[in-house]
Amino acid sequence: MENGTMPMMGQKVPEMEVVTTHGKKKLPHDYKGKWLVLFSHPGDFTPVCTTEFVSFQRHYEEFRKLNTELLGHSVDQVFAHIKWTEWIGENLDTEIEFPIIADDRGIVADKLGLIHPEKGSNTVRGVFLIDPDGVFRAILYYPQEIGRNMDEIVRMIRAFQTSDKNGVAVPANWPNNEIIKDEVIIPPAADVETAKKRTGQEGCFDWWFCHKKL
């Protein structure tokens, strides 16, 4: 992946050493065997970003139960990160426990396509869901003016783990889908014989749309 280009799902995270509030870290090596939510924010000491960091921290235990770590990022210096997280702890009664990348030279932002010129010179609200093998599985970009929904990010991690473990797909709004509720979708038939067996089968709307409970 070349600098200045946006990463794509299925690509490996580029190897890089980063400075964080918890010391230097090597990506993706230091997170091998774990899921990682790498997320960028436009800037320290800004209102929407502050609400996001509090929310990420308050969901941190949910992420850890899913073998998932959090890693923040912006183009601020590490001193600003430290002072900002101190402010959050003192004023909002929330201690930020996960590290934040200090990318004041913009190297990480460049590699991950986090500066969108039409949205200003700060990083956009990028979210990268990275699997235990260091592969980008999902990539989300939010504009500076809209904060993220942490419940959805938790849901996506849980959905990926369910899909990978069971070889299934998950429906819209899972596990509260309007049609099949908390059930999952079986891969469509790939041959005529299987399609015929599934036609009229319990748990199948048709041969190409079958579901089951895990």
Cβ-contact 203, 212 below 8 angstroms: yes
Cite the active site residues: 49
Contacts of 32 (CB under 8 A, 6+ apart): 132, 133, 134
End-to-end CA distance of the chain: 37
Contacts of 179 (CB under 8 A, 6+ apart): 171
Residue 171 DSSP code: -
Residue among 35, 31, 7, 34 at smallest CA distance from 112: 7
Q: Record the tokens describing residue 20, joined without a space.
A: 């964080």
DSSP-derived secondary structure for 65-130 = HTTEEEEEEESS-HHHHHHHHHHHHHHHS----S-EEE-TT-HHHHHTT-B-GGG-SSB-EEEEEE
